[in-house]
Structure 1
Amino acid sequence: MNHSTKRFIGMLLFFLLIVSQFSSVFGREVSAAEDLVDVQLLSMNDLHGKIDQSYELDITGDGDVDGVYGRMDYVASYLKERDQAHPNSIIVHAGDMIGGSAPVSGLFQDEPTVEIMEEIGFDYGTVGNHEFDEGTTELLRMVNGGEHPDGLGTAGYDGMNFANLCANCVYKDSGETILPPYAIAEVEDVKIGFVGVNTQASAGMVMPAGIEDIEFTNEAAAVNQAVEELQAKGIEAIVVLAHIPAEQSGETAVGESAELAKQVDDAVDIIFAAHNHQVVNGVVDNKLIVQASEYGKAFADIDIQIDRSTQDIIKKQAEVVFVDQNKKEPDPAVRDILTKYQDLIEPKMNQKLGYNGQDLTGDYTNNGDHGLGNLIADGMLWQMDADFAMMNGGGIRDDLLQGEITWGDLYNIMPFGNTLMKMEIKGEDLYPILNAQLSPIYGPDYSIAGLHYTWDIATNKVIDITFPDGTAIDPNGSYTLVVNNYMGTSLSAKHRPISEKGQNVEMGPVDLDAFVNYVKSLGSTEENPIQIGSEGRIVGIENTPENILGEVSINEARNAETGSEVTIEGVVTTTPGAWGGNGFYIQDETAGIYVFGSDEVTVGDQVKLTAVTGEYNGERQLTDISLLEKTGQSPLPDAVEVNPSEISEQNQGQLVVIKGATISELEKVNDYGTFEFMATTNGQAVLVRVDNRTGLAYDAFPFENGDKVNIIGVSSVYNGTFQLKPTKVADISEFTEQGEDDPNEDSPNEDQPEEDPTTEDNPNNEEKPTENNGVEDPNNEETPNDQDKGGNSSNKDKIENERNNSNNDKIAENEQSKNPLPNTATSIFDLMLAGAGLVLASLILFMIGRKKQRV
């Protein structure tokens, strides 16, 4: 072989080496792109049937209105445009799409809202507390179809054509879910599981009579059960539609949805939150949590990528998009639906009732009584000829602006259709009734008529109750009180004293009718308008501490006179909000105490704070924090081993442990999962109370009566009953006779969540939000304290197997990769291979020619 031949072969080998490198690089890119499936998830939450409402909003927070937002014909334009532009798009919602609605929807049983959702193309959703406003039976009618028994709604209503899911909404008698717990969408050759779940707080936020047949089980346990079933079907991409609150905190999220993220299986990739009407886009425990405001003002758009080989989500990114009416034209189909129903209700909506002389705003009475609440309560008093009236803040859903008053205005304020109830009470009963509605975070809830009261901001207790003229109310006298039937029948701690104290109930008209009648009776005109405002009916008293003791030990603070200002330092031993409210326990070498009024700490923080001593339900606490400084981190003190009889005033507020206690009298004490049991050793017993907000709920408790356990918790007292309060799941562990398990070994609180769970499901304290946090109060109180059954024939096309089917009617198959780079790479690669073939053929011909020449 001569020199030129060798050189030619060397060039060819070098060229083939280059081609092989391109083959490796571009081949991998082509393979990687083909292994991924892009999917778009569009979502809404908390629409509340406000399908025709527009809102002027300051999105940037600079104090100036940025534009007009919302209204479902504009929402439809945004969603349809994105849905149609993406080959793999799914539209979902996280509950409370109906309930507390605008007249254009509410007067027709919210069937217009369903009609619009179907026109947009929703695929999956869950239920919130408001879907249960009229009970289980009406919810199932809404899902499955059928005309309303009283002729309300629309003719020929055929139900919802999208899947409704709830894994923790179950029948009490059978334990079966009233709706499918999950559904499976098939996109190209990957599958996505959607799980629905509703806050357990719903049980205390709607009429008890309407949901007597169902219960809401532990959310995390229900999700984990659904995840287990989905994984058994080979599904790894899992999305939870959760009507559970969340709030933004920097780059992450906090609240009950954040706690849910920590408690559920890591197979869960995304949680759509709802209920408290916030804008949230954060990651907790590698799970994306998203919530998109309220009332159709915004929606969420999440782009995900799913690996074909693992069937799991490998990338997820979200944005919350506000529905700016200036950037889109209204969708014609939805606009026509709105026009149809608006025309039907126009005569009733525009009925003139009177004239209002000023803007009346407000719902809860956090900062004292307000004109709108006073007007409503006065109307209740007038209609029922009662001594006293009370109206819950969550039932006031809109403002009454200056100008002409129409029937539609009053409907928007009171849309729930509750019925007035008059009952007999003793004068002394007013104290427990009013104390129960005082939130340690927000203050008062009810608007009132026929009485005035003062309350102590530090102790959160009513001080004095009088008639409006200041004369005393006889504690033993018999009086009449009027409330709505939501307040009068609710079993939540906030409202329960009303039904417990009230006797000889007399039912009245619908609350809206009473309000209309009262406004008419005033005979107001533009020349003689309604004038009403704050009248000092509710006054908070902030007492200045008389004793300022300076820096003291926690033990000295515990023994100080109530109302003393003290400065203490210690280590935080519990997560804020574990028992409701933004409070926590703190401990030094002398004692422990509960601190109320801050959620800006985490377990293990060394904290120095100045606050005022007080007492709540018999337990010593610090409140009215004026200074809080984190000075470092400290290890938690070991829990002191005690016998049940040793839990007392001496160790109240401290971490203690009881070893080898036998469980008895185990019982669930509310619908949220909180439970109690007696712990007994050597004939001595103490009550153990496990609050569901610590992460452990009754349905997930692994022990039963007769089991022996070790229990770590905070020594506490409630109205004279000493009790032990575990702080997290790991605080109750199995006892071994050999004594091998030392509960202190695991550091009782080191794995406690750092984020502060919101306390919105707390029926005792904060069943309601403030105006700023946007949380809604159920039936009338969708506050944070503030469904349907399976067999929905309209869901069959969306639910695979008996509950789940493919989403192919909406999601087009993606027949080829849409990424242009891999296609270009493939073309280059093909050209190189062709070139290499030509060069190789030339070489062969060249070699043959050389051989012939030699011959």
Structure 2
Amino acid sequence: MKLKIFFISIFLLFSINSVSLANYVKNDNTINILFTHDMHDHIEGYNIQKDENLINIGGYERLNNKIQEYLKKDKDSLVLDAGDYSMGTLFQTIYQAENPSLRLMGKMGYHATTIGNHEFDYRTKGLTESLYAAKNSNDKLPEILVSNIDFKNYENVNKKDVNDLKKSFDNYGVKEYKVFNKKGYKIGIFGLMGYESISNSPMAGVNFEDPIDSAKRIVKKLKEKEKVDLIICLSHSGTWDDKSKSEDELMAKEVKDIDLIISGHTHTTLNKPIIIGKTIIASSGSYSENLGIIELKNDSTKWNVENYSIYPLTNNVDEEVLKPKINYFKEKVQKEYLDNFNLKFNQILANSKYNFTPINILENEHREDALPNLITDSYIEAVKNIEGENYEKITAAIVPNGTIRSTINKGEISVSDIFNISSLGIGPDEIPGYPLISVYLTGKELKTAAEVDASIQPMMSVAQLYFSGANYTFNPNRLIFNKVTDFYILDENGERTEVNDNELYRVVTGLYTAQMLSIVKDESFGLMSIVPKDSSGNEIKNFEKHIIYDGEKELKEWYALAKYIESFEKENGISQIPEKYSKLENRKVVNNDNSISAILSKPNNIAKTLYSIIIIVLILLVLIVRIFLKKLKNSKIKKA
């Protein structure tokens, strides 16, 4: 009885802003849309921290139960997704061979989805193979709609890879748009990737048409050629608090004939839709935590929101309809991937007596955190164990916020949990997971990396960097690119040492991170530069040649973390996360002093240059004003 009351309480807690399912009834002048986005292969339910409690949430069984419950009430409803259905759990490791999420979406009754940036995580080849795998399964599949991949432009891309992807699109039946007929209405649906989504797809290997231009082109076709009554965009673009950067809001202003935008990419949960002109923007959150439901009513001039709800998927699973298929995919993951690491899917690696920071907080707060400390420490420890007597000292390990995809909750920690934390990417071995690499940076470049964290993070949260082996202080009130006020190397005993600007220091980080650090110069307009080097000080041109190997295998980021937490002292046969990771270690210190002296002291060369420019401009302004006043005075004298 207590358990029943607990689940009822949790359901009510998550349903405060929801409308009862009973409010949604079939009506000839209404169209009902069920929607998701950014599910990232979260096929099974998982635990989240809520008010000191762990609650199991999400998963495709819960999602399917809710979808089927609704479809029984209105079989003419549309079920739609706005991309990034893949990449985020161990199920992604069979993306190329099985494409599990897309196939399960078909079984759940999804009508359409689009492509997100993470569908390109395994490069062009990965997406190509995943589409063939899905089609060859003969399972029921959703339509894939994407309008702004440019298959005609081969500039800066591999023509063969692009043509192979085009063939897989044709084989699957990928379209720019699709017209559905529901309740006598013609509904045009199209999909696209937005600007940031495109920029976050460095391995896509294709070119893209401008999203706004693409939307205008498709909307015109849907209006003039297809004569549709309702236009829906599955947009992997997103919304932001900063309206000047909020892509789907900007698209709504530019392309006024879109009636509804299902907005993915930014993992946003909109408990109320955004309405701009006649365009409605809806988002339901990420990781299969919620199902969005919107009921649109036609008043002959436009579509209005009749009902809108975000349903949290926390309910008990009544029917495990998908279980056989999910178990099949889990067996494939075990055989095709985990057996290579001698690990099991749900194997317990360690126990934590405390919760680490939830991922949504980690993304939004600019500070040191225990989870990245644990991750970066694991990189160094893994290399030490591999190199043994030949170990060459690592000065620092670096991980960016953008590659940390999950957290650690109090209690037992499984292989699956650890993989989810560092799930991104693939190595040249074509085995999922970014490998670690070894590079060398000068002391000056280490300071620059800290400055990237301090100055770029406020504009791009994924660029927040965390260090092992370093201690630095920054003041967010200072001039951009001049926020770091001190930087030291930390030895194993926590002792601080000044860095030598010209000395080379060994750094371990992920393959993707090293590649991103190398483009700092371009992104900072040439004001800052980080050039990863080999041990002789030569610029690295091919990062894949500097991958760290464990025997013949690439040392994957997630595997380094898994072996590290498994190595801790044990209680009752289970490793325990040390108490040191329950608190911070002052690796990154934020000094919020806004006094004049704190803001202007210790200017670096960038600041000195900018200050000089400002002073020169001020002097010129003073001279111009003086000349103007002098002429004005002479003019008055002449008139007199």
TM-score normalised by L of structure 1: 0.53
Question: Structure 1 residues 456, 106: closer, same or farther in 2, change over 3 A?
Answer: same
Q: 1:659 corresponds to which residue?
A: none
Residues 1:472 and 2:478 are matched in the alignment: no
For residues 315 and 458 of structure 1, do their structure 2 counterparts lie closer, same or farther at Cα, with a shift above 3 Å needed?
closer
| Paired residues of 1:436 and 1:494 also in contact (CA < 8 A) | no
1:288 shift after superposition: 0.7
The structure 2 residue matched to 1:537, chosen from 587, 597, 601, is: 587
Aligned to 1:71: 59
Q: CA deviation at 1:47?
A: 0.9
Superposed CA offset, 1:191-223 (max 9, x none): 2111211122124324x3x223x1333221110
Match of 1:649 among 608, 617, 623: 617
Give the aligned partner of residue 173 of structure 1.
153
- The AA in structure 2 aligned to 1:288 is I
Is the Cα–Cα contact under 8 Å of residues 191 and 234 in structure 2 kept in the other structure? yes
Query: Are positions 1:500 and 2:537 aligned together?
Result: no
- Match of 1:436, as an amino acid? V
Change over 3 Å in CA distance of 1:494–1:235 after alignment to 2? farther
The equivalent of 2:634 in structure 1 is none
Distance 2:607 2:139 in 1: 49
1:387 is the counterpart of 2:433: no
Displacement of 1:232 after TM fit? 2.5
**Contact kept in structure 2, 1:144 and 1:160, CA below 8 Å:** no
Which of 106, 123, 145 is the aligned partner of 1:135? Answer: 123
CA distance in 2, matches of 1:248, 1:125: 25
Match in the other structure for 1:184: 179
Give the unaligned 5+ runs of structure 1.
1-34, 148-155, 549-560, 564-614, 621-647, 654-855
3-state secondary structure, aligned to 1:481: strand
Distance 1:64 1:523, change over 3 A: closer
Matches within 5 A, 1:394-473: 394-416=402-424, 417-438=433-454, 439-440=457-458, 445-459=464-478, 461-468=483-490, 469-473=495-499
CA distance in 2, matches of 1:202, 1:315: 29
3-state SS of the aligned residue for 1:332?
coil
* Whole-angstrom distance in 1 between the partners of 2:241 and 2:280: 12
Amino acid at match of 1:225: R
For the residues of structure 1 that align with 2:333 and 2:589, how far apart are their CA atoms? 41
Following superposition of structure 1 onto structure 2, how do residues 628-777 of structure 1 map, counting pairs within 5 Å?
649=617
Q: Which whole-Å CA distance do the structure 2 matches of 1:245 and 1:67 have between them?
A: 27
Who is 1:637 aligned against?
none
Q: Are the counterparts in 2 of residues 488 and 498 from structure 1 also a CA contact under 8 Å? A: no
Q: Is the 8 A contact 1:244 1:256 kept in 2?
A: yes
Distance 1:315 1:254, change over 3 A: farther
Displacement after TM superposition at 1:402 (Å): 4.2
Whether 1:287 and 2:305 are equivalent positions in the alignment is no
2:112 is the counterpart of 1:90: no
Code of the residue aligned with 2:414 in structure 1: it is T
Residue identity in the other structure for 1:422: S
Match of residue 215, structure 2, among 199, 223, 226: 223
1:486, distance to aligned residue in structure 2 (A): 1.2
- Counterpart-to-counterpart distance in 2, 1:382 and 1:65: 32
Residue 558 (structure 2) aligns with:
512
Q: Distance in 1 between matches of 2:522 and 2:39?
A: 26
Q: Distance in 2 between matches of 1:219 and 1:453?
A: 40
Deviation at 1:95, TM superposition (A): 1.0
Match for residue 256 of structure 1 among 242, 247, 260: 247
CA distance in 2, matches of 1:267, 1:122: 24
Which residue of 270, 276, 293 corresponds with 2:266?
Answer: 276
In the alignment, the residues of structure 1 paired with residue 122 and residue 529 of structure 2 have an alpha-carbon distance, to the nearest angstrom, of: 21
The superposition leaves residues 68-118 of structure 1 with CA deviations (integer Å, 9 ceiling, x where unpaired) of 5422111111111222322422111111111112x2454565733223211
Distance 1:403 1:282, change over 3 A: closer
Residues 105/337 of structure 1: CA separation in 2 closer, same or farther (3 Å cut): farther
Give the Cα–Cα distance (whole angstroms) in 2 for the partners of residues 76 and 240 of structure 1.
23
CA contact (8 A) 2:473 2:590 kept: yes
The residue number in structure 1 matching 2:367 is 368
**1:226 and 1:247, CA in 2 relative to 1: closer, same or farther beyond 3 A?**
same
Q: Could you tell me how far apart the structure 1 residues matched to 2:597 and 2:154 are? A: 59
- Quick one: which amino acid aligns to residue 437 of structure 1? D
In the other structure, the counterpart of 2:295 is: 303
Higher-RCO chain (CA-CA 8 Å, sequence separation at least 6)? 1
Q: CA deviation at 1:257?
A: 1.4
* Aligned-pair identity (%): 19
Shift in Å, 1:159: 7.7
Which residue identity is paired with 1:380? Y
Letter in 2 for 1:477: E
Q: Distance in 2 between matches of 1:181 and 1:287?
A: 20
Paired residue secondary structure (1:465): strand
2:141 maps to which residue?
161
Question: Secondary structure of 2:321's partner?
Answer: helix
- With over 3 angstroms needed to count, the CA separation of the structure-2 counterparts of 1:360 and 1:69, relative to structure 1, is closer
Partner of 1:707: none
CA RMSD between the two structures: 3.8
Q: 1:379 to 1:292 in 2, by over 3 A?
A: same
Change beyond 3 A, Cα 1:495–1:464: farther
Q: Which residue is 2:14 aligned to? A: none
Task: Check conservation: 2:180, 2:188, Cα contact below 8 A.
Answer: yes
The alpha-carbon distance between structure 1 residues 100 and 302, as it changes in their structure 2 partners (threshold 3 A), is same
Q: Distance in 1 between matches of 2:608 and 2:222?
A: 45
Cα gap change, 1:522/1:472 in structure 2, threshold over 3 Å: closer, same or farther? same
Change (3 A) 1:183 1:652: farther
CA, structure 1 residues 337+435, in 2 after alignment: closer, same or farther (shift >3 Å)?
same
**Greater alpha carbon shift after TM alignment, 136-145 vs 361-370:** 361-370
The Cα of 1:271 is off from its aligned counterpart by: 0.8
Of residues 514-523 and 169-178 in structure 1, the stretch that sits farther from structure 2 once superposed is 169-178
Higher Cα Rg: structure 1 or 2? 1
Write the distance in 2 (CA, Å) between the matches of 1:411 and 1:484. 15
After TM superposition, give the deviation of residue 537 of structure 1 in Å: 0.7
Q: Aligned equivalents of 1:80 and 1:247: distance in 2?
A: 32
Structure 2 CA distance for aligned equivalents of residues 111 and 451 of structure 1: 41
In 1, the alpha carbon distance for the partners of 2:192 and 2:331 equals 37
Consecutive unaligned residues of structure 2, counting only runs of 5 or more, are 1-26, 156-161, 335-342, 384-391, 425-432, 534-538, 549-554, 622-640
Q: Are the equivalent residues in 2 in contact too, given 1:241–1:271 (CA < 8 A)?
A: yes
Cα separation, partners in 2 of 1:268 and 1:330, compared to 1, 3 Å: same
Alpha-carbon distance between aligned partners in 2 of 1:293 and 1:315, rounded to the nearest angstrom: 22
Question: Greater strand percent: which structure?
Answer: 1
Structure 2 counterpart of 1:204, which letter?
S
CA deviations on 1:430-469 (whole Å, 9 max, x unpaired) are 1222222332368871221122111122125222211112
Aligned residue for 1:317?
A: 306
SS of structure 2 residue aligned to 1:278: coil
Q: Deviations over 1:221-250 (max 9, x none)?
A: 11001111222312342111111222689x
